[in-house]
Amino acid sequence: MNPRPPFLHEAAVLQLLRERTRYVEAVVVTGGEPSIHKELPKFLMKVKKIGLTIKLDTNGFFPNVLRDCIPYVDYVAVDVKTSLSKYERLGAKNTEDLLRTLEILKGSDVEYEFRATVVPGFVDEGDIDKIGEIVKGGMRFVFQKFVPGDTLDKTFNTVESYADDVISHFAEIMKPYVEEVLLRV
């Protein structure tokens, strides 16, 4: 998927946010992957000066940019898509940056969650303890139900979601690893 113009320039976005502060309290910066942009921390600083609460969604593969964003964000959500051994199936040959991101957040004062959309075949029961080991000591882990439909890879349109009780079972397995486990089902 290629984004297509027209794109808003930074000045236009900031002006729009300033004009809407009576109606808008928070901004979610999401993607694609927003932290591929090295200028992201400077942009977030400008948004923060407007007085808005900021949430950043990330895949965790740009830890240096994330570290520089932390002073300006109120909440960070990191996708932990599966166990490390399956990341190569998603196109990631190296997961060291993801692991660095997780450790940066665990050592920070910012509120955060690690989360997984439980896609059958990518996140199975055998993956939960492995994911738990890499998020161990974390603040919060969220399991999100996979909803087939408008997916980039059309082969996932026919994948049947896990039943809610299966996702609840995954949450029970995760509980010893993090302070809080939440479900979005």
Provide mean pLDDT across the span 81-103.
96
Q: Is 48 domain-assigned?
A: yes
Tell me the pLDDT tens digit for each residue of 143-172.
Answer: 999 998 877 788 888 899 999 999 999 999
Is the pTM above the cut of 0.95?
no
Structural domain includes residue 39: yes
List beta partners, residue 46. Answer: none
Backbone φ/ψ region at 60: left (φ over 0), alpha (ψ -120 to 50), beta: left
* Beta strands at 138-145 and 178-184: parallel, antiparallel or unpaired: parallel
Q: What is the DSSP string of 113-141?
A: EEEEEE-TTTS-HHHHHHHHHHHTTEEEE
- We report the CATH number of the domain holding residue 138 as 3.20.20.70
Confidence of residue 7 (pLDDT cuts 50, 70, 90): confident
What is the CB-side half-sphere exposure of residue 31 using CA atoms within 13 A? 15
Q: How many domains does the chain have?
A: 1
Q: Does residue 68 fall inside a structural domain?
A: yes
Hunting for tokens 């939960």 — which residue is that? 128
Residue 22: inside a domain, yes or no? Answer: no
Between the CA of residue 98 and those of 11, 102, 110, 164, 174, what are the distances in Å?
Answer: 31, 6, 17, 28, 19
Residue 162 lies in a domain: yes
Q: How confident is the model at residue 2 (pLDDT cuts 50, 70, 90)?
A: low
* 9 within a domain of the structure (yes/no): no
Residues 97-124, mean pLDDT to the nearest whole number:
97
What is the rounded CA–CA span in Å between residue 135 and residue 79? 11
Q: Is residue 107 part of a domain?
A: yes
* Mean pLDDT on 39-61: 98
Average pLDDT, the chain: 95
Joined tokens for residue 89: 């199936």
Does residue 36 lie in a domain region?
yes
Q: Domain range holding 86?
A: 27-184
